[in-house]
Amino acid sequence: MTQTPANADSDAELSTAEKQLYEDFNRFGLIPLWTEREDLMPTAPAPQAVPYVWHWDDLYPLAARAGDLIPVGRGGERRAISVSNPGLPGLPYATPTLWAAIQYLGPNEVAPAHRHSQNAFRFVLEGEGVWTVVDGDPVAMRRGDLLLTPGWQFHGHHNPHPKPMAWLDGLDIPFVSATDTGFFEFGEDGVTDRSTPHRSRSERVWGHPGLRPVAATAEDTPNSPLAAYRWEHTDAALTAQLEVAADGHTGVVTEPGHAAVRFSNPTTGGDALTTIRTEMHRVAAGERTAAVRETGSSVWQVFDGAGAITLDGMRTDLVRGDVIAVPSWCEVAIEARTDLDLFRFSDAPIFERLNLARREYS
Ligand code: 1HN
């Protein structure tokens, strides 16, 4: 935004020579720093995105209505309805870097195969019966599972069941768009594998704790080769953290009453996706997390339970399915009324790599 030049109270006080100078800057495609400095370099992050909560009770019925009215097929590719941050009007973005959408697939529907450089995942709040086919490997989707679609892998979805299914999609679309790094290709029509194995090939090869195939030890992969992180494992890990901490062992939980796990790439131990951090948090009933602000933005979804979130001082009640956008440097604190499980994704891997990550407890 152009501001009044620092050396003048208003345009009217500019000399003829100064006015001519600003016109000529504009004519030659130039902008002087002294009119822009505070916007370019705020004292602390001043996001356009705002903290916001979308309620599942609103999202799901709208997705179901779209299911009745809007076919899924080539061109549109997905019946996905993205949340649009009110601070980023008209853009299908949860935050400046993250896309979050509810996707709905009806009985016997197929979302056609394609690939793109954007990284993606699906997180399943409820239901089952859809297989996402990632580079030819059919991966079952069930409640609580995290399914990965790293950039440039072909993927389509099919629902051979008599019931519709909806889930949360997360992608780094806004980041890829802002950096002009997007590529997209259609897959071949009709080749989405319609088989329905209980376990994907990827899980059979990579899904054994602490065991890496020797054939795959020569090179690490930037994104995780494991396509599915199953709820039974996530749940068991969170339960164990709280139990071990309750036995008096330290360094196990994030803070008292707050267990958390990060979905990781078994080849590197780092984040499962290069641009997107994915985590599951459990806050025990009656506990509250310390208020914290971080650079970079995140999106949360309540997986189970009830509580409240306070975002820059604004408290909102939460129930299962609610989706929350947290802009950069927004102060977040969570209270659990019942045991509260929350899925979280963020752009933290980007900013950690670039040495732009900061965190501050209030
Ligand atoms: C996509 O491929 C999926 O595969 C979901 O389910 C959302 C949004 C924009 C572009 C591609 C999916 C998407 C998407």
Tens of pLDDT, residue by residue over 61-116, are 999 999 999 999 888 899 999 999 999 999 999 999 999 999 999 999 999 999 99
Strands of the 128-134 sheet, one edge to the other: 137-142, 128-134, 155-158, 110-116, 184-186
Residue 113 backbone phi and psi in degrees, to 5: -75, 140
Ligand 1 pocket, residue 294 CB under 6 Å = no
In angstroms, the CA 31 to CA 277 distance is 37
- State whether the beta carbon of 101 lies less than 6 angstroms from ligand 1: yes
Decide the pairing of beta strands 277-283 and 258-262: antiparallel
Taking the CA atoms of residue 230, residue 234, residue 237 and residue 241 in that order, the dihedral angle to the nearest 10 degrees is 180
Model pLDDT for residues 311-331, shown as the tens digit of each residue: 999 999 999 999 999 999 999
pLDDT of residue 3: 46
Average pLDDT value for the chain: 95
> What gap in Å lies between CA 267 and CA 228, rounded to an integer?
15
| Both tokens assigned to 152 | 């440039």
Tell me: pLDDT of 336 over 60: yes
Backbone φ and ψ for 71, nearest 5 degrees, come out as -70, 155
Contact (Cβ atoms closer than 8 angstroms) between residue 274 and residue 309: no
Q: Whose CA is nearest to atom 3 of ligand 1?
A: 78
Strand 298-304: give its sheet, edge to edge. Answer: 52-54, 323-326, 298-304, 340-346, 277-283, 258-262
Does the beta carbon of 78 lie inside 6 Å of ligand 1? yes
pLDDT on residue 191: 60
Residue 61 is encoded by which pair of tokens?
């019925």
Q: Class for domain 228-361, per CATH?
A: mainly beta
Highest mean pLDDT among 5-19, 185-199, 209-223: 209-223
Among 155, 169, 186, say which to mutate for ligand 1: greatest number of ligand atoms within 8 Å of CB. Answer: 169
Domain with CATH 2.60.120.10 in the chain: 52-186, 228-361
Rg (CA), the chain: 23
CA of 266 to the centre of ligand 1 (A): 25
**What pLDDT does 75 receive?**
86
At residue 193, the pLDDT reads 74
Tokens 């793109």, residue located: 116
- Residue 172 CB less than 6 A away from ligand 1: no
Asked if pLDDT for residue 7 goes beyond 70, the answer is no
Kindly report the length of the chain.
362
CATH of the structural domain 52-186, one choice from 2.60.120.10, 1.10.1740.110, 3.40.50.720, 3.20.20.140: 2.60.120.10
What is the number of the ligand 1 atom nearest to the C-alpha of 80? 7
Question: 151-199: per-residue pLDDT in tens?
Answer: 999 999 999 999 999 999 999 999 999 999 999 999 987 666 789 999 9
Using the 8-state DSSP alphabet, how is residue 195 labeled?
Answer: -
Single pTM value for the model? 0.94
Residue 103 CB less than 6 A away from ligand 1:
yes
Closest Cα partner for 78 from 162, 182, 163, 184?
Answer: 184
Maximum CA extent, the chain? 77
Give CA separation, 237 vs 33, 229, 233, 240, 336, in Å.
51, 12, 6, 5, 19
Q: Which tokens in the block code for residue 205?
A: 């090869």
pLDDT of amino acid 1 = 43
Distance, CA of 51 to chain centre = 15
Which of the pair, 9 or 336, is modelled with greater confidence?
336
Give the span between the Cα atoms of 323 and 58, in whole angstroms.
11
Binned at pLDDT 50, 70 and 90, residue 10 comes out as low
The structure tokens 């197929």 sit at 110
Percent of the chain with pLDDT over 90: 93
Q: Is the confidence at residue 137, as pLDDT, over 50?
A: yes
In the predicted structure, residue 337 carries a pLDDT above the cut 80: yes
| 42 Cα–ligand 1 center, Å | 34
Find where tokens 């259609």 sit. 186
